[in-house]
Amino acid sequence: MRPQLHYFLFLLMTSGLFLACGDAHKKTAKQTNIYSKDFQDKLVEANKMYVKQESDEIDQYVAHRGWKMITTGTGLRYMITKKGDGALAQVNQRAKVNYKISLLDGTLCYSSDSTGPKEFLIGKDNIESGLHEGIQYMHVGDKATIILPSYLAHGLIGDESKIPPHASVLYELELLSLK
């Protein structure tokens, strides 16, 4: 069903371009704003449909595995799989993590097994916004499974390498240390 939604979005965007170009010289400023608002509303609705569909797919994935995950207000899902006894991660701390990043179909994309642990400044570094959020639910020593919807991961274009466009990603994280 996703290809149909992509096709719908493409048609919606291109039809808006044709409408905007076709009789632009005849429209008043007020009419242009009406069409522009209508077009924006349609894009917002199409995006809401896509987000809902992706959320439903993630929920089915989680239910199929029998996982008890917490869903945050942003749509991120997480569960702590091993409790640590260290400090809770906070913004402006440097986190060091072991990780595995997979697609929901099981394809392994990246792993600290081959690249070593990753370090990043929580809330500041240029990494997935969902990772900034998810790490803040962890204490040093915790292991967690975190699912990032595409809009919290690599979004519309993917990472231009191993993660395709519109892909939800699964992180298996271990918070090693905070500085």
| 6-34: pLDDT as tens digits | 544 444 444 444 444 455 445 555 555 55
Residue 136 pLDDT more than 80?
yes
pLDDT at 148 over 60: yes
In this prediction, what percent of the chain has a pLDDT beyond 70? 80
What pLDDT is attached to residue 14? 45
Domain coverage including residue 22: 2-65
Q: Which of 27, 42, 65 is the last residue of a domain?
A: 65
Percentage of the chain modeled with pLDDT above 90: 71
CA distances from residue 14 to 7, 19, 75, 157 in whole angstroms, order as listed: 11, 9, 29, 19
Locate 97 and state its tokens: 């993590």
Q: Return the pLDDT at 104.
A: 97
User: Residue 45, Cβ neighbours under 10 Å: how many?
Assistant: 11
Report the CATH number that the domain containing residue 146 is assigned in CATH: 3.10.50.40
Which neighbouring-strand residues pair with 88?
139
> Based on the domain organization, do 37 and 79 belong to the same domain?
no
Q: How confident is the model at residue 146 (pLDDT cuts 50, 70, 90)?
A: very high
Q: In the listed set 12, 31, 65, which residue is the last one of a domain according to the structure?
A: 65
At 159, the amino acid letter reads D
Comparing 8 with 106, which gets the higher pLDDT?
A: 106
* In a shared domain, residues 93 and 167: yes
Say yes or no: 51 and 85 in one domain.
Answer: no
Predicted pLDDT at 143: 98
pTM to 2 decimals?
0.78
Least trusted range by pLDDT, from 36-50, 78-92, 149-163: 36-50
Please give the full DSSP string across 48-59, using - where no structure is assigned.
HHHHHHHHHHHH
Angle, helices 29-65 vs 2-22, to 10°: value is 170
How far, in Å, CA of 130 to CA of 157, rounded? 16
Distance CA 6, CA 61 (A): 22
For the chain, the domain total comes to 2
